[in-house]
Structure 1
Amino acid sequence: MLAETSAPLRTTLVVDPVDYLLADVALGRHLPGEPVHAAQLAEEHGITGAEAVEAVETAWFLGVLTRGHSIAEGRVAWTPAGTEAQVHRLARAMVAMVRRPVSTRETACSVIDGEDLRQGAAELFDLRTPADLVVFLELARALLGRSDRLLVDDLVAPVAILFSEVSQETHGIEFAAPAAVRDDLVRALVRALIDGRVDDFADLVDDYLLALSVG
């Protein structure tokens, strides 16, 4: 069950129960190898027991937790490489969508439309997703939001949270290229998409993935 709350500059901010757990990992409240219990999540974040169990199950599906002795517990198994792999999944789907004939593509969602913006959960927790990654994830949401909504729902918010600036500081994450280089790449991505330069778009996506790699 999704909860809604308001946030500056956003019409609606949608928070999935697992976002609370992901934010805890980003902030270092739950470190790799440490146990996580649904009851603790429910108490700390004011969510229901059922929502907390859902968060644990979803985190297991995302590879953030390993299974515990019950569906209500697990152990943190997250690594930056795991989130990098999720970015690659989004990127492959984006390139595949852009390569499809225009007549067969789903109508794109509005970019930065401010509605049902689960990605904004990173803002709720004041985690500060890097500007280049925000644009890249908005592109993913715009391109895939109608044709592959499940992929967007599963990956966009977790990437925004776990690759946030706070998570970088907490876990010592260093991307291969500095922010200025990544900013230039996403600007070029947007221009290539607008101009319909499909091959350039695909090449720039590859370049961006290299720039965002964590080694």
Structure 2
Amino acid sequence: MKSTPLLLALLLSCPLAAVAEPGPALYRVFAEQPAAADCIEVDIDLAHGETPEALPGALRYPLRGKEIAEGWSWPEGVSSDPDYFRYKYLPLASESEDRRSYEAEDMVGEPQTMTERWRYDYFLAFANFAAFIDAADDDAALVLALPADADPARLALRAEACLTQPTTRESTTFWKATHAKPVDLTLKKRYLVGELKAVHAVALDDGRRLATLQARPIPPAVHKESDHD
């Protein structure tokens, strides 16, 4: 999908719009025309990501295991104690498309139809995760206090972030088709990169914000921790 000038103008003139934009559309917009410091709201993909845990009066969304280990995310320079897991991610969307099919033999004498498949996974990458979690929480969870009448099953999670340069990053991984799995898979991981400002629990029915977790000051002792085991 190509971005349009109208969509870009809407995003830049209304950085904190009440309606979240789809992650893939935002990625394409900012990949074509980077605009650092612009703020966005985007829905967290709960279908392809973690399922929030509903507790009495609260909703927990674990960040444990969501460290980014891409080359672009590594620290620059040399340090005596480098932290290679500086960023965590929130899933935004996953899309896939099948392209051409072709005949091949991964096992001699057994021709097969192989399929070329491309998958695109979209994420929000942010380094200030310590501003949202309890350092003593093994799950490094985002915890949102809910009003008494909120139904966790009718809630979505939305991230509010301000983008930083470079606003987008991408990595590519390829798996060759085999006899057991006749699919050439190309995986594109695409990241919007920024500073997380808040996480909102919103009503699926009308988009109202029912709870918000704001960034807190990061204690110096926690700032360099990655919560990665």
Query: Which range, TM-score by smaller chain?
Result: under 0.3
| TM-score (norm: length of structure 2) | 0.25
TM-score, normalization: structure 1? 0.26
Larger fraction in helix: 1
Q: Which has the higher strand share?
A: 2
Q: Which has the larger radius of gyration?
A: 2
